[in-house]
Amino acid sequence: MCGIVGYLGRRQALPIIIKGLKRLEYRGYDSAGIALLNGSLDIVKKKGKVIDLENEIGSKPMDATLGMGHTRWATHGEPNDKNAHPHASTDGKLAIIHNGIIENYASLKKELEKSGHKFLSDTDTEVLIHLIEEIKIQNNCNIEEAVRLALNEVVGAYAIVVLSQDEERTLIAARKGSPLVIGIGEDEFFVASDATPIIEYTNNVTYLNDREMAIIKDGSLVVKNLENIVKTPFIQKLELDLEDIEKGGYAHFMLKEIFEQPKSIRDAMRGRLVLREHQLILSGIDQYLNRFINAERMLLIGCGTSWHAGLIGEYLFEDLARIPTEVEYASEFRYRNPVIRDKDIVIAISQSGETADTLAAIELAKSKGSLIFGVCNAVGSSIARTADAGAYLHAGPEIGVASTKAFTSQVTILAMMAMYLGLKKGTIPLSKYQELLNALDSVPDKVSKILSKADEILEISKSFYQATNFLYLGRGYNFPVALEGALKLKEISYIHAEGYPAAEMKHGPIALIDEEMPVVFIATKDSSYEKVISNIQEVKARKGKVIAIVTEGDTEIKGMADFTFEIPNIADPLVPLLAVVPLQLLSYHIAILRGCNVDQPRNLAKSVTVE
């Protein structure tokens, strides 16, 4: 949700914090603020984006080598100056920034008000800093102990950084359920929600675990749990380059990430697909191969775009490996008392590896004895650490809020898993396995071919950017693609869009179709081709405008549709990897034509780390 940056070292903190906030702005951009400690504790915060905070700071003298910053995605309290972080204690000597939700804030606030505390904001975060202040006073303890005791009283999720005016070279950070990484440089330390603000200065990091605190003072780092037991931090090297988090000449991160897909798909296959030997190497499956082969059911869980990738995974696992598969919204999974068995395998899909609902769902599944397999992008993330095994996407940082390259990398991983299990179980013959491997290897080049025709999508977009509704239709493997195409358009252009199985159009959505309704068909030449043609004719009979994604050389649909876009021919299970790309471009260009901020769409944050 929110973005956190902290610094303690020998350099001026303000430039480091501001630059870090800009790199984390994809996590939240309702408001932003900083706190710097240099004798006094100076706080500046402002509704809006980081640039608005910069303008508010202006030329104020803000010299300090210790400080922290925050960019907010609003949960408690509307976006405004008073609700922006950091929040201060009553005496103004303590400050906090926070990502997460304190669920018992109301009862804590009531007790604190009885003790004379007055609150200036509508946030749960302000309650936490007042609680820390109250404990510090009552116990006559230092800030480290006050934070530890306070966190033992709160219920909810948090990543926090706390400063105290009385302890000028001390920075306290802690986490539970929300990510926090500590960067270790030469005589300096960094704290952030993810590694993007850190990589410019150091590639040595440690990730805090749940219910752990980092105490940075006197040039040293100590990690403790909330029981006050010292832990040995695991220091690791970041696999991240600075250029990965820059736009690289593109107008927007989203466009860059769409065009990175030939590389990101290839990177997902690298070291796993060995074409010359006609084999896949999937070590995460191999260490539990018997459990996979004997699995009674696969449960794929995710949210948003990751759920759509899981839906394609359902088609893949049932089609190729003949394993009964269900796809679950992580946000609903644990609240409906699901049936989970020890012979089930749960595949958790998440770009960030920090999605709160997905983490809660896998904790439930793990408690029932299920094997947990993580499919995520962020190395060292909570899901990666919680899962029994898994596969990293290796897609590189995805800064645009609307997921593009992570989606195709997720589908690539799931496709390899399904092929591999199909071969091991004998549900697909060796000849089909090898045919699919060759097809998968061809995907990056075919995506490049699609991207070379991006201007065709721009021309289509010019005819529809003023539409108020869209309908996306597909069948079989293309139905989840329709859902993903509709989601992309909703996310970044604010046009209402719905995805449906094409055959379901007659069971309701057809009532919406008139000359003002664009209908996008994913209509490639597969086993459902003739039936999709019938659906297109039904739309045209009602004067709907048809945009069709078709297989190269298709002339039949070209004669019916108002607009067509051709994609290369490929085996049915891999069509989603190609068909989704023009839909990503369509949403991008429509959003740009409408004047929308495609990288930071309103009300959305990249990583949903609160339930």
Q: Which residues are catalytic?
A: 2, 606
- SS3 string, 39-77, reads CEEEEEEEECCHHHHHHHHCCCCCCCCEEEEEEECCCCC
Find tokens 């209402």 and name the residue: 496
* 214 backbone dihedrals φ, ψ, rounded to 5°: -110, 125
- 3-class secondary-structure state, position 431: helix
**Is the CB of residue 362 less than 8 Å from the CB of residue 336?**
no
**CB neighbour class for 484 (10 Å; exposed up to 12, middle 13-18, buried from 19):** buried
Kindly state the tokens that stand for 84.
């922006």
The Cα–Cα gap between 82 and 427 comes to 61
The Cα–Cα gap between 359 and 158 comes to 14
CA atoms within 13 A on the CB side of 97: 36
Which DSSP string corresponds to 233-244? ---EE----GGG
**Is the CB of residue 205 less than 8 Å from the CB of residue 234?**
no
**Is the CB of residue 602 less than 8 Å from the CB of residue 79?**
no
**Is the CB of residue 188 less than 8 Å from the CB of residue 200?**
no
**Is the CB of residue 102 less than 8 Å from the CB of residue 156?**
yes
Cα–chain center distance at 226: 28
The Cα–Cα gap between 213 and 216 comes to 10
Identify the DSSP state of 245. G
Find tokens 């005589």 and name the residue: 187
Kindly state the tokens that stand for 318.
């049932």
Q: Bridge-partner residues for 549, per DSSP? A: 522, 565
- 3-class secondary-structure state, position 146: helix
Q: Which of 3, 60, 33, 13 lies closest to 195, judged by CA?
A: 3
The Cα–Cα gap between 320 and 545 comes to 36
